[in-house]
Each structure stands twice: as structure tokens, then as C-alpha cells.
Amino acid sequence: MRPVGIIALRELADGLRNRRVIATTLLMATLALTLALLGSAPTGTVGVSALGVTVVGLSSLTIFLVPLIALLIAHDAIAGELDRGTMTLLLSYPDARWQVLAGKFIGHVLILGIATVLGYGIAGLALAYSSPVAEAGAAAAFAAMVGTSILLGAAFLALGYVISVSVRDPRTAAGLAMGAWLFFVLIYDMALLGILVADQGQSLTVGILNLLLLANPTDIYRLLNLTSVSNTSLLSGMAGLTDQVRLDRITLFAGLVAWIAVPLVAAGAIFARRQI
């Protein structure tokens, strides 16, 4: 395991040095604070938790932002280093290729994790400070949101590696990564919605809908966060869907973990066979 740790630390150090961590943290903190402060304004003193509203807002933000950041980091991980010659050098060292990939993955998850915890943590603390009376469970929902955000990021890191190990040119990898982002974050849900409307419940059963939702990590994330607390599901307009979708949290969680593990193993297998 030693080489994995060495490579992970190098990735983290590089991330800190080239200001990737700080830039990501600042971006997330700024957007989160904006959402938190604007989002808490309409709730006034009616009794709806500001933190609950913020969880909904931040979850929607995460679905756009975190996959984008993860793919930006991951698409270059192998293809870019191959292009610069450092990967050829690294692979001439005694370590196995899976160790190189595992080290990079851990390092990149750490980068993403630090940025998410700090960026969203700042917003959470600011809210807790400004409106101390929080709904019960709101803090737990917030913590779960941060945790699942990191898992969502890890899933897209793994997807990015699959792209990065499969192509030779880092620019091709960048293009494919943007395509993956568009597909999973925008196109998939729109297409699903369109099909549901057109189908009018004729042939699409709940079972198929469940599978279709599990087939996209952003939907799993959405279900995990926007339906967790009754309040948040009402606020997010997901209440109607929750009645239909019968996926318990363990299934959803397992689905998200599978979206990390399967692409990661696939990337490792492609990388092991790759001719450098």
C-alpha cells in the first residue's frame, strides 16, 4: 500500500500547490453562502428551517457543480500525464498500474472532499450562527448532504478515469468528459421526463422507473438528499415522486457506491491492458 499513499499525497500536494483546492473551495463556499443567505430570506420567521431550505438549494447546486469539478480533475489524470511523459516514467517504476490509479483516486477524492467540507461547511456554520433555531434533523440532513456530495464526486472521478485511460489525447478526454457531464446532469433527466410525460404511465412501470433512476448517479444523489427529510422533500417538489419511487436509502446508497466501484474497476482493467 505504500506506493498508493505516496502517489495520493503527491496528488493532494499538487492540488494544494496549483491552487485547485483553494479555487474549488472558494467557488463552493461562495455559491453555498449565496444560496444559504438568499435562501433563508423568504423563510422569514414562519418556522421553516433555513437549514432545510439550504439543503435543498445546495443539493441542486451540487448536482451541477460537483460532477463538473470531478470530471475536470479526472479527465486529465492519465491522458494528461501520458502526454507530458510523466506517466511513462511513473510506470517504469516498480509499482503496479492499479497502485498508480488507486493513489490518484484517493488523492483526488481528498481534494474534492476538502473543498466540499470546507466550502459547504462555511455556509452551514454561517447559517447555524445566523438562525440558531434549527429544525430537528436538519443538521443531520446537512451532514448527509455533504457526505453524499463527496460520494457523487467520487463516482464522477471514476467515470473521468474511464475516459482518461481510454484515449490518447488529453483534449479528446476533455471533450468526452464534457459530453459525460451534459449527458448525466442535463440530458438524462430531460429525456426521462419527456418519456414519462409521453408514456402517460402506459408501459413504464414503477420498477422500470426505479431502475432508470438508479442508472444515473445524479438521480440517486437527488433521491438521497431531496427526500431524506419530509420537509426537504416537500420544499424540493420531490414529494410526488417519493410516493411513487420505492427505493430505500440502503439501495440508493449501494447504487451510489456501485457507481464509484464499477467505473473504477473498469478504468483499472483498461489501464492494465493499455499499451503505453
Partner 1 sequence: MNSTVAMLEAVSKRYGRHRAIERVDFTMRAGERVALVGHNGAGKSTLIKLMLGLIRPSEGCVEVLGADPGSRASGVARRSIGFLPENVVFHPSATGAELLAFYARLKRQPVASNPALLERVGIADAASRRVGTYSKGMRQRLGLAQALIGRPRVLLLDEPTTGLDPALRQSFYRIVGELAADGAAVLLSSHALAELENTTDRVVVLDHGLVVADGALTELRRRSEAPTRIRVTLTDAHAAIGPGLPRGNIAWARISDVVWEASCPELAKVEALRDILGTALPLADIAVIPPSLDQIYAGFLDRKAAE
**What are the residues binding partner 1 (CB under 8 A)?**
2-3, 6-7, 10, 13-14, 17-18, 84-86, 88-96, 275-276
Whole-angstrom distance, CA of residue 96 vs CA of residue 79: 17
Question: Closest separation between CB of residue 268 and partner 1, Å?
Answer: 15
Give the largest CA-CA distance in the chain.
Answer: 64
Burial level of 134, CB count in 10 A (0-12/13-18/19+)?
middle
DSSP 92: T
Other beta carbons within 10 angstroms of residue 125's beta carbon come to: 11
- For partner 1, give the closer residue by CB, 18 or 30: 18
Cα 262 to Cα 68, 100, 161: the distances in Å are: 20, 17, 11
Whole-angstrom distance, CA of residue 100 vs CA of residue 123: 35
- For partner 1, give the closer residue by CB, 96 or 266: 96
- For partner 1, give the closer residue by CB, 142 or 271: 271
Tell me how far the alpha carbon of residue 233 is from its chain's centroid: 20
- For partner 1, give the closer residue by CB, 202 or 275: 275
Measured N-to-C along each axis, helices 206-214 and 188-199 cross at an angle, to the nearest 10 degrees, of 170
- For partner 1, give the closer residue by CB, 8 or 122: 8
Q: What is the dihedral of CA 149, 150, 156, 159, to 10 degrees?
A: -140
Q: What is the dihedral of CA 74, 79, 84, 85, to 10 degrees?
A: 120
Question: Closest separation between CB of residue 173 and partner 1, Å?
Answer: 17
Question: Closest separation between CB of residue 17 and partner 1, Å?
Answer: 5
Residues composing the chain:
276
Question: Closest separation between CB of residue 266 and partner 1, Å?
Answer: 21
- For partner 1, give the closer residue by CB, 99 or 228: 99
Question: Closest separation between CB of residue 10 and partner 1, Å?
Answer: 5
Question: Closest separation between CB of residue 164 and partner 1, Å?
Answer: 17
Question: Closest separation between CB of residue 113 and partner 1, Å?
Answer: 21
- For partner 1, give the closer residue by CB, 5 or 121: 5
